[in-house]
Amino acid sequence: MLHAENLFSYYGKSPILQDVSFSLKAGEFLSVLGRNGVGKTTLLKTIMGLTDRCEGRLEFDGADISGRSTPERARLGIGYIPQGREIIPRFTVEENIIMGCYARTDGKREIPDYLFEMFPILREFLTRRGGDLSGGQQQQLAIARALAMDPKILILDEPTEGIQPNIVRQIEDAIVHLNRERGLAVILVEQNIPFARKASDRFVVLDKGAVAMAGHKDELTDAVVEKHMTF
């Protein structure tokens, strides 16, 4: 479904990603791991076309999307939940979710019912401003907004970072449900190694902008974590 080959991605003249290659099959769960500052967020932004320049090949459903704009990539079915959530604080919960619908190609502008089954608080707070929600509730809203576009792939950048513990489990369960029950492919940047081991099919470890290791989740051993992810 998604295939990256020899990707170099730049901010200005500096290459942040260097010769990165990976593949994601339909319905697969891939965790992107590594220390802070090694290029994990840049990789997700590169997939969405949000860096200054990219070299190499990036394919989605067999077509090269390297030259496509961010809105075009979203309409193809790539849903993105950035670090920091980036909801619109003055918009209501309903308005924020409906925004996601505008990336749909079927013209539907209705909120899917299953979003409220996963995150009941959003139905309760439908008319409340997004900026008035807690951090965990805003993260649920950001996920719901991305799902409203009916994506084929969901890309999440540390979705439980800074979230109150009682909501972390709910968000993690929702991500696993979307992958296992609804067949949604997932790319997850995460520091929570136990969750990555539980949820992933495969993993990629980045170090200094390059792939340091990749493999099946069973290969994500304590030795790998010690070598590539401890400080």
Helix, strand or coil, per DSSP, at residue 41: helix
Residue among 180, 173, 178, 137 nearest 154 (CA): 178
Domain containing residue 29: CATH number = 3.40.50.300
Structural domain count of the chain: 1
Query: What is the phi/psi pair of residue 189, to 5°?
Result: -90, 125
For 84-136, give the DSSP string: T----TTSBHHHHHHHHHTT-SS---S--HHHHHH-HHHHHTTTSBGGGS-HH
CA separation for the pair 143, 111 (Å, rounded) = 13
- Please give the residue range of the domain that contains residue 119: 2-228
Residue-by-residue pLDDT tens, the chain, 231 positions: 899 999 999 999 889 999 999 999 999 999 999 999 999 999 999 999 999 999 999 999 999 999 999 999 999 999 999 988 889 999 999 999 999 999 998 888 889 999 999 999 999 999 999 999 999 999 999 999 999 999 999 999 999 888 888 889 999 999 999 999 999 999 999 888 899 999 999 999 999 999 999 999 999 999 988 888 876
DSSP helix/strand/coil, 199? helix
User: What per-residue confidence (pLDDT) applies to 231?
Assistant: 64
Q: How far is the C-alpha of 225 from the C-alpha of 222, rounded, in Å?
A: 5
**37 Cβ contact list (under 8 Å, min separation 6):** none
List the one residue out of 230, 175, 201, 221 whose CA is nearest residue 32.
201
